Structure 1
Amino acid sequence: MSEISTEITIDAAPSKVREIFLDFASHKDWNPLLTSIEVYKGETSAPAGSQLKVQLEIPGKSPMVMYPTVLENSEQVLKWKGNVLFDSIFAGEHYFAYSPSEDGSKTKFVQGEKFSGITSRLFMAFFAKSTEEGFVSLNEALKKKAEKSN
């Protein structure tokens, strides 16, 4: 299994960061990586088990759409998993974690993805750097939006 992980400290409470992140309709206005997130098939929230439709724009690559399944959506983390055909071919478990600072006024935002399947090494060879750049750009945009609205 391979993993890409990034983190940033945001000068806003985790509840505020989470609220901004879960406002899927606004992603098109601020998110350079995940330019559209919708709860698929008419749902209005994203509980575990629901399917999302995500427009992904990795820097330097063609836009793509994926349909991951939400594994967890709690106060601490939003986690989803997507695959190509079957988990044994390629799967990615993407997570967004919101951890409070000691006084609760700041958030350590961690975004990462764990890749598995027989083609995951090939993915890492060709897409790891640009994927990490995309994660960093999302983190920085979220920080800017959260701190501006704080």
Structure 2
Amino acid sequence: MNSIRTEVIVDAPPEQVWAVLTGLDRYCEWNPCIRSVDGEGGPDQTLLITIRFAWLPPIRFKAQLDRFRQNEILGWRAVFLAGLFIGHHWFELHPLDSGSSTRFVHCETFDGLLSTPIFVVLSGLFRQGYTAMNRALKTRVEQK
């Protein structure tokens, strides 16, 4: 399975990170990678997500929230090309320093018949986008 894992330390408790992360309707204000999310953030909800990576055109897709534990984990599963490419995307929040800061972990795994060729071609762009999102999230949370 092909995967990407990035992380950043945010100087705020998980509850503050969670508030920004689950403010889906405000992603357009700060998130350079996930440009919009339409839908309610809750267990088993369907989201309509628009992403943008560097030179690629925006990509809009449906995703099913499949990981949701308040202040701990938020994630979704999206199926592309009739199941030939499947993405499992999630965010983990780990309290540090007795809860005064948070390790924000940003991951995605890809499977399906086309996952390896797509991963080989686009994993660098994905990693850059996720790293940029992590920095933007850190800035947004720490400014509040």
TM-score normalised over the length of structure 2: 0.95
Which stretches of structure 1, 4 residues or longer, exceed 6 Å deviation after superposition?
none
Does structure 1 residue 127 correspond to structure 2 residue 97? no
1:81 aligns with 77
Q: Return the alpha-carbon distance in structure 1 between the equivalents of residues 10 and 41 of structure 2.
A: 24
5+ residue gaps, structure 2? none
- Contact 2:63/2:76, CA 8 A, preserved across alignment: yes
In the alignment, structure 1 segments of 5+ residues that lack a partner are: 40-44
Q: Which of 58, 81, 92 is matched with 1:63 structurally?
A: 58
Decide whether the 8 Å contact of 2:48 with 2:60 is kept in 1: yes
Corresponding position: 1:53 with 2:48: yes
Say whether residues 1:4 and 2:21 are aligned partners: no
Deviations 1:81-136 (A, max 9, x none): 0011443x110100011110031000100001010001000111110000000000
Q: Which amino acid aligns with 1:54?
A: I
The one-letter code of the counterpart of 1:47 is G
- Mapping 1:80-99, distance limit 5 Å: 80-87=76-83, 89-99=84-94
Aligned length: 143
Work out whether 1:15 is the aligned partner of 2:11: no
Name the structure with the higher strand share: 2
RMSD of the alignment, in Å?
A: 1.0
Q: Is the 8 A contact 2:24 2:41 kept in 1?
A: no
CA contact (8 A) 1:67 1:82 kept: yes
Cα separation, 2, equivalents of 1:81 and 1:104? 29
How many Å separate the matches in 1 of 2:8 and 2:117?
A: 28
Q: TM-score, normalised by structure 1?
A: 0.92
- What's the counterpart of residue 108 of structure 2? 113
Measure, in 2, the Cα distance between the counterparts of 1:121 and 1:85.
14
User: Counterparts of 1:93 and 1:71 in 2: how far apart (Å)?
Assistant: 9
- Contact 1:82–1:91 (CA under 8 A) maintained in structure 2: yes
CA distance in 1: counterparts of 2:93 and 2:17, whole angstroms: 7
